[in-house]
Amino acid sequence: MSGTERSRVIWKGKDRWATTEFSRRGLSVENASSKAFDDMATVRALAIHQEDGDPKLTEQLLRSEGADLLNHGVSIFGIANNDLAAGALRQAAVSAGFADSVYIRTDPPDHEIAEKIARLQPGPPANRSLEIIGPASTTLSDTMKLFFQRSFFDCSSISVEPLSEGRSASVFSIHARFKDSVVGPRPLPFFAKIDSRDKIESEKFNYQYYAEHFIPFDLRPNLDPRRCLSGKDAGILVGNFVEKSESLMAAARRGHAQTALFSLFDNTLRGWRHQAQIRQDIVAALSGVFSPDKLLAVANRYPEARSLGATKTPQELEALLKALPSKDFLSAPMHGDLTPFNVRVRGHDAILIDLAHTRQGPLVADPASLEVGLAFEAGNDVDDKGWSDLMNALYSQTCLLRPPVPPREPKAREWLWSSIRQIRVVALAEEISQFEYATALAVYLLRRAMFPADSVSDGFRRAYAYVLAERLISCLGSAHV
Protein backbone atom coordinates (compact mmCIF):
# COMPACT_ATOMS: atom_id res chain seq x y z
CA MET A 1 0.00 0.00 0.00
CA SER A 2 2.90 2.36 -0.64
CA GLY A 3 1.93 2.88 -4.25
CA THR A 4 1.16 5.82 -6.43
CA GLU A 5 -2.15 6.61 -4.75
CA ARG A 6 -0.07 8.39 -2.07
CA SER A 7 1.72 10.63 -4.54
CA ARG A 8 1.15 14.11 -3.13
CA VAL A 9 3.99 16.15 -1.59
CA ILE A 10 2.91 19.20 0.38
CA TRP A 11 5.43 22.01 0.05
CA LYS A 12 5.96 24.74 2.65
CA GLY A 13 8.24 27.56 1.49
CA LYS A 14 8.62 30.33 -1.04
CA ASP A 15 10.08 28.18 -3.79
CA ARG A 16 8.93 24.77 -5.05
CA TRP A 17 12.48 23.48 -5.12
CA ALA A 18 13.37 20.89 -7.77
CA THR A 19 9.78 20.30 -8.90
CA THR A 20 10.97 18.53 -12.04
CA GLU A 21 12.73 15.84 -9.98
CA PHE A 22 9.47 15.10 -8.17
CA SER A 23 7.38 14.86 -11.34
CA ARG A 24 9.91 12.46 -12.88
CA ARG A 25 9.15 10.12 -10.00
CA GLY A 26 5.38 10.31 -10.30
CA LEU A 27 4.99 12.78 -7.42
CA SER A 28 2.94 15.94 -7.48
CA VAL A 29 3.97 19.00 -5.46
CA GLU A 30 1.50 21.53 -4.08
CA ASN A 31 1.79 24.52 -1.78
CA ALA A 32 0.80 24.09 1.85
CA SER A 33 -2.67 25.42 2.62
CA SER A 34 -5.47 24.48 4.95
CA LYS A 35 -7.11 22.44 2.17
CA ALA A 36 -3.85 20.63 1.35
CA PHE A 37 -4.09 18.75 4.67
CA ASP A 38 -7.74 17.73 4.26
CA ASP A 39 -7.07 14.42 2.49
CA MET A 40 -4.15 12.75 4.23
CA ALA A 41 -4.86 9.46 2.45
CA THR A 42 -3.14 10.76 -0.70
CA VAL A 43 -0.17 12.51 0.96
CA ARG A 44 3.27 10.92 1.04
CA ALA A 45 5.41 13.68 2.56
CA LEU A 46 5.58 17.25 3.84
CA ALA A 47 8.65 19.19 2.65
CA ILE A 48 9.54 22.39 4.52
CA HIS A 49 11.92 24.72 2.69
CA GLN A 50 13.64 26.92 5.30
CA GLU A 51 15.38 29.97 3.85
CA ASP A 52 16.33 31.91 6.99
CA GLY A 53 17.01 31.56 10.71
CA ASP A 54 13.48 32.26 11.98
CA PRO A 55 11.89 29.01 13.29
CA LYS A 56 8.45 30.45 14.19
CA LEU A 57 6.46 29.54 11.07
CA THR A 58 7.94 26.07 10.88
CA GLU A 59 7.24 25.46 14.56
CA GLN A 60 3.63 26.61 14.13
CA LEU A 61 3.14 24.24 11.19
CA LEU A 62 4.59 21.29 13.10
CA ARG A 63 2.43 22.00 16.14
CA SER A 64 -0.75 22.29 14.10
CA GLU A 65 -0.28 19.47 11.59
CA GLY A 66 2.74 17.37 12.58
CA ALA A 67 1.11 14.74 14.80
CA ASP A 68 -1.72 14.13 12.35
CA LEU A 69 0.77 13.81 9.50
CA LEU A 70 2.88 11.21 11.29
CA ASN A 71 -0.17 9.26 12.47
CA HIS A 72 -1.24 9.00 8.82
CA GLY A 73 2.21 7.72 7.80
CA VAL A 74 3.31 11.00 6.22
CA SER A 75 7.04 11.77 6.54
CA ILE A 76 8.39 15.25 7.24
CA PHE A 77 11.48 16.66 5.49
CA GLY A 78 13.31 19.89 6.25
CA ILE A 79 15.36 21.48 3.44
CA ALA A 80 17.69 24.28 4.55
CA ASN A 81 19.36 26.87 2.34
CA ASN A 82 22.32 27.16 4.73
CA ASP A 83 23.55 26.30 8.20
CA LEU A 84 21.57 29.14 9.77
CA ALA A 85 18.36 27.83 8.23
CA ALA A 86 19.24 24.26 9.29
CA GLY A 87 19.64 25.48 12.87
CA ALA A 88 16.20 27.08 12.67
CA LEU A 89 14.68 23.81 11.44
CA ARG A 90 16.23 21.88 14.30
CA GLN A 91 15.08 24.48 16.83
CA ALA A 92 11.54 24.35 15.46
CA ALA A 93 11.48 20.54 15.51
CA VAL A 94 12.71 20.40 19.12
CA SER A 95 10.37 23.14 20.36
CA ALA A 96 7.34 21.51 18.72
CA GLY A 97 8.23 18.03 20.06
CA PHE A 98 9.39 16.53 16.75
CA ALA A 99 13.14 16.28 17.39
CA ASP A 100 13.37 12.73 16.00
CA SER A 101 10.67 13.05 13.36
CA VAL A 102 12.03 15.61 10.87
CA TYR A 103 14.70 14.62 8.33
CA ILE A 104 16.85 17.74 7.81
CA ARG A 105 19.31 18.35 4.96
CA THR A 106 21.32 21.46 4.13
CA ASP A 107 21.49 22.43 0.43
CA PRO A 108 21.02 18.86 -0.89
CA PRO A 109 21.39 17.94 -4.59
CA ASP A 110 18.23 18.51 -6.63
CA HIS A 111 17.32 14.83 -6.85
CA GLU A 112 18.06 13.72 -3.25
CA ILE A 113 14.84 14.66 -1.43
CA ALA A 114 12.63 13.64 -4.35
CA GLU A 115 14.32 10.23 -4.49
CA LYS A 116 14.01 9.69 -0.73
CA ILE A 117 10.31 10.59 -0.80
CA ALA A 118 9.69 8.34 -3.81
CA ARG A 119 11.27 5.40 -1.94
CA LEU A 120 9.19 5.89 1.21
CA GLN A 121 6.89 3.17 2.47
CA PRO A 122 4.13 5.31 4.02
CA GLY A 123 1.88 2.35 4.72
CA PRO A 124 -1.83 2.15 3.99
CA PRO A 125 -4.01 5.26 3.96
CA ALA A 126 -6.92 5.56 6.36
CA ASN A 127 -10.09 3.74 5.32
CA ARG A 128 -12.62 6.38 6.38
CA SER A 129 -15.55 4.15 5.42
CA LEU A 130 -14.50 1.41 7.87
CA GLU A 131 -17.33 0.51 10.25
CA ILE A 132 -16.07 -0.12 13.79
CA ILE A 133 -18.51 -2.28 15.77
CA GLY A 134 -18.55 -3.39 19.38
CA PRO A 135 -18.54 -2.22 22.99
CA ALA A 136 -15.04 -0.78 22.66
CA SER A 137 -15.93 1.42 19.70
CA THR A 138 -17.55 4.07 21.91
CA THR A 139 -14.45 4.45 24.08
CA LEU A 140 -11.82 4.52 21.36
CA SER A 141 -9.81 7.72 21.03
CA ASP A 142 -9.54 9.44 17.65
CA THR A 143 -5.95 8.17 17.37
CA MET A 144 -7.05 4.57 18.04
CA LYS A 145 -9.79 4.85 15.40
CA LEU A 146 -7.26 6.22 12.90
CA PHE A 147 -4.88 3.30 13.53
CA PHE A 148 -7.74 0.83 13.02
CA GLN A 149 -8.74 2.63 9.81
CA ARG A 150 -5.18 2.32 8.50
CA SER A 151 -4.43 -1.20 9.75
CA PHE A 152 -7.70 -2.58 8.37
CA PHE A 153 -7.57 -0.57 5.15
CA ASP A 154 -8.92 -3.52 3.14
CA CYS A 155 -11.98 -4.16 5.32
CA SER A 156 -15.56 -2.93 5.26
CA SER A 157 -16.05 -3.49 9.00
CA ILE A 158 -14.33 -4.73 12.13
CA SER A 159 -15.82 -5.97 15.39
CA VAL A 160 -13.65 -4.83 18.31
CA GLU A 161 -13.58 -6.51 21.73
CA PRO A 162 -11.19 -5.39 24.50
CA LEU A 163 -9.10 -8.10 26.14
CA SER A 164 -9.25 -7.35 29.85
CA GLU A 165 -6.06 -9.19 30.81
CA GLY A 166 -3.84 -6.54 29.18
CA ARG A 167 -2.66 -4.25 32.00
CA SER A 168 -0.45 -1.60 30.42
CA ALA A 169 -1.55 -1.46 26.78
CA SER A 170 -4.91 -1.46 24.98
CA VAL A 171 -5.34 -4.96 23.55
CA PHE A 172 -8.27 -6.10 21.41
CA SER A 173 -9.57 -9.08 19.50
CA ILE A 174 -10.69 -8.10 16.01
CA HIS A 175 -13.17 -9.89 13.76
CA ALA A 176 -12.84 -8.29 10.34
CA ARG A 177 -14.82 -8.40 7.13
CA PHE A 178 -12.73 -7.99 3.96
CA LYS A 179 -14.01 -5.79 1.16
CA ASP A 180 -12.47 -7.64 -1.77
CA SER A 181 -10.78 -10.96 -1.10
CA VAL A 182 -10.39 -13.77 -3.64
CA VAL A 183 -10.95 -16.26 -0.80
CA GLY A 184 -13.91 -14.69 0.99
CA PRO A 185 -14.90 -11.88 3.33
CA ARG A 186 -14.35 -13.55 6.73
CA PRO A 187 -10.71 -14.05 7.80
CA LEU A 188 -9.71 -15.68 11.06
CA PRO A 189 -9.61 -13.18 13.95
CA PHE A 190 -6.75 -10.78 14.63
CA PHE A 191 -5.34 -9.28 17.79
CA ALA A 192 -4.48 -5.59 17.89
CA LYS A 193 -2.31 -3.89 20.50
CA ILE A 194 -2.05 -0.10 20.78
CA ASP A 195 0.69 1.35 22.96
CA SER A 196 3.37 4.03 22.93
CA ARG A 197 5.44 4.31 19.76
CA ASP A 198 8.64 3.23 21.52
CA LYS A 199 7.00 0.13 23.01
CA ILE A 200 5.40 -0.89 19.73
CA GLU A 201 8.67 -0.45 17.81
CA SER A 202 10.53 -2.41 20.50
CA GLU A 203 8.03 -5.26 20.39
CA LYS A 204 8.15 -5.40 16.58
CA PHE A 205 11.94 -5.73 16.88
CA ASN A 206 11.54 -8.50 19.45
CA TYR A 207 9.14 -10.46 17.25
CA GLN A 208 11.55 -10.21 14.33
CA TYR A 209 14.79 -11.04 16.12
CA TYR A 210 13.78 -13.03 19.21
CA ALA A 211 10.73 -14.92 17.96
CA GLU A 212 11.01 -15.49 14.22
CA HIS A 213 13.77 -18.11 14.33
CA PHE A 214 13.67 -19.14 17.98
CA ILE A 215 10.02 -19.76 18.97
CA PRO A 216 8.02 -22.32 16.95
CA PHE A 217 5.59 -20.46 14.69
CA ASP A 218 2.58 -22.33 16.13
CA LEU A 219 3.54 -21.42 19.71
CA ARG A 220 3.37 -17.62 19.32
CA PRO A 221 1.19 -15.08 17.53
CA ASN A 222 2.50 -14.06 14.12
CA LEU A 223 2.48 -10.39 13.18
CA ASP A 224 0.98 -9.05 9.95
CA PRO A 225 3.66 -6.50 8.92
CA ARG A 226 1.30 -4.61 6.59
CA ARG A 227 -0.96 -3.78 9.52
CA CYS A 228 1.70 -2.84 12.10
CA LEU A 229 2.06 0.95 12.11
CA SER A 230 3.62 3.75 14.15
CA GLY A 231 2.67 7.40 14.45
CA LYS A 232 4.07 10.30 16.43
CA ASP A 233 3.52 9.03 19.97
CA ALA A 234 1.70 5.72 19.55
CA GLY A 235 1.62 2.65 17.36
CA ILE A 236 -0.34 -0.53 16.66
CA LEU A 237 0.65 -4.20 16.38
CA VAL A 238 -1.66 -6.58 14.53
CA GLY A 239 -1.31 -10.32 14.24
CA ASN A 240 -3.23 -13.57 14.36
CA PHE A 241 -5.35 -14.07 17.46
CA VAL A 242 -4.73 -17.19 19.59
CA GLU A 243 -8.17 -18.80 19.35
CA LYS A 244 -9.69 -21.50 21.56
CA SER A 245 -7.18 -20.97 24.34
CA GLU A 246 -7.18 -19.96 27.99
CA SER A 247 -4.62 -18.27 30.21
CA LEU A 248 -2.14 -20.43 32.09
CA MET A 249 -3.70 -19.03 35.27
CA ALA A 250 -7.11 -20.42 34.32
CA ALA A 251 -5.60 -23.79 33.39
CA ALA A 252 -3.61 -23.90 36.65
CA ARG A 253 -6.65 -23.16 38.81
CA ARG A 254 -8.40 -26.12 37.18
CA GLY A 255 -5.40 -28.29 37.99
CA HIS A 256 -4.43 -28.64 34.32
CA ALA A 257 -1.17 -26.70 34.17
CA GLN A 258 1.35 -29.56 34.27
CA THR A 259 1.47 -30.40 30.56
CA ALA A 260 1.40 -26.70 29.65
CA LEU A 261 4.33 -25.93 31.94
CA PHE A 262 6.33 -28.79 30.44
CA SER A 263 5.48 -27.49 26.95
CA LEU A 264 6.44 -23.94 27.89
CA PHE A 265 9.99 -24.69 29.02
CA ASP A 266 10.79 -27.70 26.84
CA ASN A 267 9.10 -26.64 23.59
CA THR A 268 8.07 -22.98 23.43
CA LEU A 269 11.18 -21.52 25.09
CA ARG A 270 13.75 -24.11 24.11
CA GLY A 271 15.16 -21.97 21.27
CA TRP A 272 16.00 -19.22 23.76
CA ARG A 273 17.22 -21.54 26.48
CA HIS A 274 19.63 -23.28 24.11
CA GLN A 275 21.52 -19.96 23.84
CA ALA A 276 22.52 -19.98 27.54
CA GLN A 277 26.03 -18.78 28.36
CA ILE A 278 27.81 -18.26 31.67
CA ARG A 279 27.84 -14.68 32.99
CA GLN A 280 28.67 -13.10 36.36
CA ASP A 281 26.63 -11.09 38.89
CA ILE A 282 22.98 -12.12 38.67
CA VAL A 283 21.79 -9.12 40.72
CA ALA A 284 23.27 -6.69 38.19
CA ALA A 285 21.61 -8.66 35.38
CA LEU A 286 18.25 -8.12 37.09
CA SER A 287 18.69 -4.36 37.47
CA GLY A 288 15.61 -2.46 36.37
CA VAL A 289 13.18 -5.21 37.41
CA PHE A 290 12.57 -3.54 40.78
CA SER A 291 12.33 0.18 41.59
CA PRO A 292 12.23 1.30 45.27
CA ASP A 293 10.78 4.68 44.28
CA LYS A 294 7.95 3.06 42.34
CA LEU A 295 7.10 0.82 45.29
CA LEU A 296 7.00 3.75 47.68
CA ALA A 297 4.70 5.61 45.27
CA VAL A 298 1.97 2.96 45.73
CA ALA A 299 -0.38 4.21 48.43
CA ASN A 300 -0.23 2.20 51.70
CA ARG A 301 1.93 -0.57 50.24
CA TYR A 302 5.02 -0.08 52.42
CA PRO A 303 3.01 0.76 55.59
CA GLU A 304 0.95 -2.41 55.10
CA ALA A 305 4.13 -4.44 54.59
CA ARG A 306 5.49 -3.02 57.85
CA SER A 307 2.28 -4.00 59.64
CA LEU A 308 2.84 -7.56 58.37
CA GLY A 309 6.37 -7.75 59.74
CA ALA A 310 8.69 -5.95 57.31
CA THR A 311 11.45 -3.94 59.00
CA LYS A 312 13.57 -2.59 56.14
CA THR A 313 12.86 0.12 53.58
CA PRO A 314 12.86 -0.63 49.84
CA GLN A 315 16.16 1.26 49.51
CA GLU A 316 17.71 -0.86 52.26
CA LEU A 317 16.58 -4.08 50.57
CA GLU A 318 17.99 -2.91 47.25
CA ALA A 319 21.31 -2.11 48.96
CA LEU A 320 21.39 -5.58 50.56
CA LEU A 321 20.79 -7.19 47.17
CA LYS A 322 23.57 -5.18 45.56
CA ALA A 323 25.91 -6.15 48.41
CA LEU A 324 25.52 -9.87 47.69
CA PRO A 325 28.68 -11.46 46.26
CA SER A 326 28.91 -11.75 42.50
CA LYS A 327 28.08 -15.25 41.30
CA ASP A 328 28.03 -17.10 38.01
CA PHE A 329 24.68 -17.62 36.29
CA LEU A 330 23.38 -18.76 32.90
CA SER A 331 22.21 -15.94 30.65
CA ALA A 332 19.85 -16.30 27.67
CA PRO A 333 16.99 -14.46 26.00
CA MET A 334 14.18 -13.93 28.52
CA HIS A 335 10.55 -12.93 28.06
CA GLY A 336 10.89 -10.22 30.70
CA ASP A 337 7.23 -10.27 31.77
CA LEU A 338 6.39 -13.96 31.98
CA THR A 339 3.11 -13.88 33.89
CA PRO A 340 0.44 -16.60 33.79
CA PHE A 341 -1.59 -14.21 31.59
CA ASN A 342 1.16 -13.97 28.96
CA VAL A 343 1.04 -17.72 28.40
CA ARG A 344 -2.00 -19.09 26.58
CA VAL A 345 -2.87 -22.78 26.84
CA ARG A 346 -4.46 -24.68 23.96
CA GLY A 347 -4.60 -28.42 24.36
CA HIS A 348 -1.12 -29.44 25.51
CA ASP A 349 0.58 -26.39 24.00
CA ALA A 350 1.86 -23.29 25.81
CA ILE A 351 1.63 -20.27 23.49
CA LEU A 352 3.75 -17.23 24.35
CA ILE A 353 2.31 -13.74 23.83
CA ASP A 354 3.42 -10.13 24.49
CA LEU A 355 7.13 -9.77 23.70
CA ALA A 356 7.34 -6.11 24.72
CA HIS A 357 9.98 -6.72 27.41
CA THR A 358 12.08 -9.47 25.81
CA ARG A 359 15.84 -9.10 26.32
CA GLN A 360 18.91 -10.96 27.52
CA GLY A 361 18.84 -11.98 31.19
CA PRO A 362 19.25 -14.78 33.73
CA LEU A 363 17.89 -18.16 32.67
CA VAL A 364 16.13 -18.42 36.05
CA ALA A 365 14.37 -15.03 35.67
CA ASP A 366 11.39 -16.19 33.60
CA PRO A 367 10.58 -19.13 35.93
CA ALA A 368 10.81 -16.75 38.91
CA SER A 369 8.50 -14.22 37.24
CA LEU A 370 5.99 -16.94 36.34
CA GLU A 371 6.06 -18.48 39.81
CA VAL A 372 5.41 -15.16 41.54
CA GLY A 373 2.61 -14.38 39.10
CA LEU A 374 0.90 -17.68 39.84
CA ALA A 375 1.45 -17.59 43.60
CA PHE A 376 0.33 -14.02 44.27
CA GLU A 377 -2.64 -13.59 41.92
CA ALA A 378 -5.68 -13.21 44.18
CA GLY A 379 -8.57 -13.55 41.73
CA ASN A 380 -11.65 -14.66 43.65
CA ASP A 381 -9.58 -16.22 46.44
CA VAL A 382 -10.20 -14.18 49.61
CA ASP A 383 -8.83 -16.66 52.19
CA ASP A 384 -5.69 -14.65 52.93
CA LYS A 385 -4.85 -16.63 56.07
CA GLY A 386 -4.79 -20.01 54.32
CA TRP A 387 -2.90 -18.48 51.40
CA SER A 388 -0.22 -16.86 53.60
CA ASP A 389 0.34 -20.16 55.46
CA LEU A 390 1.02 -21.82 52.11
CA MET A 391 3.40 -19.02 51.09
CA ASN A 392 5.33 -19.34 54.35
CA ALA A 393 5.89 -23.01 53.55
CA LEU A 394 6.79 -22.50 49.90
CA TYR A 395 9.22 -19.65 50.59
CA SER A 396 11.06 -21.34 53.43
CA GLN A 397 14.76 -21.91 52.83
CA THR A 398 14.29 -25.69 52.62
CA CYS A 399 11.88 -25.41 49.66
CA LEU A 400 14.34 -23.16 47.83
CA LEU A 401 17.26 -25.56 48.08
CA ARG A 402 15.35 -28.35 46.36
CA PRO A 403 11.85 -28.60 44.82
CA PRO A 404 8.94 -29.00 47.25
CA VAL A 405 7.74 -32.55 47.73
CA PRO A 406 4.65 -33.60 45.73
CA PRO A 407 1.33 -32.86 47.50
CA ARG A 408 0.45 -35.80 49.72
CA GLU A 409 -3.26 -35.20 50.16
CA PRO A 410 -5.93 -33.07 48.45
CA LYS A 411 -6.04 -29.48 49.69
CA ALA A 412 -7.69 -26.28 48.53
CA ARG A 413 -4.57 -24.96 46.79
CA GLU A 414 -3.03 -28.24 45.66
CA TRP A 415 -3.01 -26.80 42.10
CA LEU A 416 -0.74 -23.96 43.24
CA TRP A 417 1.68 -26.15 45.18
CA SER A 418 1.93 -28.56 42.23
CA SER A 419 2.47 -25.76 39.70
CA ILE A 420 5.20 -24.10 41.75
CA ARG A 421 6.85 -27.45 42.38
CA GLN A 422 7.01 -28.10 38.63
CA ILE A 423 8.47 -24.65 37.92
CA ARG A 424 11.15 -25.16 40.58
CA VAL A 425 12.08 -28.57 39.16
CA VAL A 426 13.04 -26.66 36.00
CA ALA A 427 14.58 -23.59 37.64
CA LEU A 428 16.68 -25.28 40.32
CA ALA A 429 18.11 -27.68 37.74
CA GLU A 430 19.45 -24.66 35.83
CA GLU A 431 21.39 -23.18 38.75
CA ILE A 432 25.15 -23.18 38.41
CA SER A 433 25.54 -21.22 41.69
CA GLN A 434 23.68 -21.82 44.93
CA PHE A 435 20.69 -19.54 45.62
CA GLU A 436 20.62 -18.29 42.03
CA TYR A 437 16.88 -18.93 41.79
CA ALA A 438 16.19 -17.61 45.30
CA THR A 439 17.90 -14.34 44.33
CA ALA A 440 15.70 -14.00 41.25
CA LEU A 441 12.62 -14.79 43.33
CA ALA A 442 13.49 -12.05 45.84
CA VAL A 443 13.72 -9.48 43.04
CA TYR A 444 10.42 -10.56 41.46
CA LEU A 445 8.68 -10.57 44.84
CA LEU A 446 9.74 -6.95 45.25
CA ARG A 447 8.53 -6.24 41.74
CA ARG A 448 5.14 -7.74 42.61
CA ALA A 449 4.92 -5.34 45.55
CA MET A 450 5.50 -2.21 43.47
CA PHE A 451 2.25 -2.24 41.44
CA PRO A 452 -1.22 -1.04 42.49
CA ALA A 453 -3.76 -3.60 43.69
CA ASP A 454 -7.02 -4.66 42.05
CA SER A 455 -8.73 -5.64 45.33
CA VAL A 456 -8.23 -5.76 49.09
CA SER A 457 -6.88 -9.32 48.91
CA ASP A 458 -4.59 -8.38 46.03
CA GLY A 459 -3.24 -5.48 48.11
CA PHE A 460 -2.58 -7.79 51.04
CA ARG A 461 -0.76 -10.31 48.86
CA ARG A 462 1.40 -7.66 47.21
CA ALA A 463 2.37 -6.35 50.65
CA TYR A 464 3.10 -9.90 51.80
CA ALA A 465 5.33 -10.37 48.75
CA TYR A 466 7.46 -7.56 50.20
CA VAL A 467 7.63 -9.35 53.57
CA LEU A 468 8.71 -12.62 51.95
CA ALA A 469 11.27 -10.80 49.80
CA GLU A 470 12.82 -9.30 52.93
CA ARG A 471 13.01 -12.74 54.56
CA LEU A 472 14.63 -14.20 51.46
CA ILE A 473 17.19 -11.41 51.17
CA SER A 474 18.09 -11.82 54.84
CA CYS A 475 18.62 -15.55 54.28
CA LEU A 476 20.73 -14.85 51.20
CA GLY A 477 22.90 -12.44 53.14
CA SER A 478 23.34 -14.88 56.02
CA ALA A 479 24.28 -17.69 53.65
CA HIS A 480 27.25 -15.65 52.38
CA VAL A 481 28.55 -14.42 55.73
**Using one digit for the tens of pLDDT, what is the confidence trace for 395-448?**
987 878 889 888 876 777 999 999 999 999 999 999 999 999 999 999 999 999
Of 168-182, 216-230, 466-480, highest mean pLDDT:
216-230
Q: Where are the alpha helices (DSSP H) in 97-176?
A: 110-118, 142-151
Query: pLDDT > 90: what percent of the chain?
Result: 85
Show Cβ contacts of residue 479 under 8 Å, excluding neighbours closer than 6 positions.
Answer: 434, 435
First to last CA, the chain: 64
Residues of the chain with CATH 3.90.1200: 246-479
Q: Which pTM value belongs to this model?
A: 0.89
Q: Which CATH superfamily is domain 8-118 in?
A: Succinyl-CoA synthetase domains (3.40.50.261)
What's the rounded Cα separation, in Å, for the pair 476 and 247?
33
97 sits in the region (left: phi over 0; alpha: psi -120 to 50; else beta) called left
The correct CATH number of 246-479 out of 2.30.29, 3.90.1580, 2.40.30, 3.90.1200 is 3.90.1200
| pLDDT for the residue numbered 480 | 58
Which of 439, 443, 410 lies closest to 427 in space, CA to CA? 439
How would DSSP label each residue in 14-43?
A: SS-TTHHHHHHTT-EEEE--TGGGS-GGGE
> C-alpha angle with apex 357: 378 to 315, nearest 5 degrees?
65
- Torsions phi, psi for 26 (to 5 deg): 75, 20
CATH T-level assignment (fold) for domain 131-240: Phosphorylase Kinase; domain 1 (3.30.200)
Show Cβ contacts of residue 235 under 8 Å, excluding neighbours closer than 6 positions.
Answer: 147, 194, 195, 196, 197, 199, 200, 201, 228, 229
| pLDDT for the residue numbered 474 | 93
Q: Where are the alpha helices (DSSP H) in 37-138?
A: 56-61, 67-71, 83-96, 110-118
Q: Which residues pair with 331 in a beta bridge?
A: 277, 362
3-class secondary structure, 394: helix
Show Cβ contacts of residue 223 under 8 Å, excluding neighbours closer than 6 positions.
Answer: 204, 207, 237, 238, 239
What's the rounded Cα separation, in Å, for the pair 304 and 286?
26
Residues of the chain with CATH 3.40.50.261: 8-118
| pLDDT for the residue numbered 2 | 40
| pLDDT for the residue numbered 481 | 42
**Using one digit for the tens of pLDDT, what is the confidence trace for 123-141?**
999 999 999 998 776 689 9
What's the rounded Cα separation, in Å, for the pair 326 and 196?
36
| pLDDT for the residue numbered 409 | 67
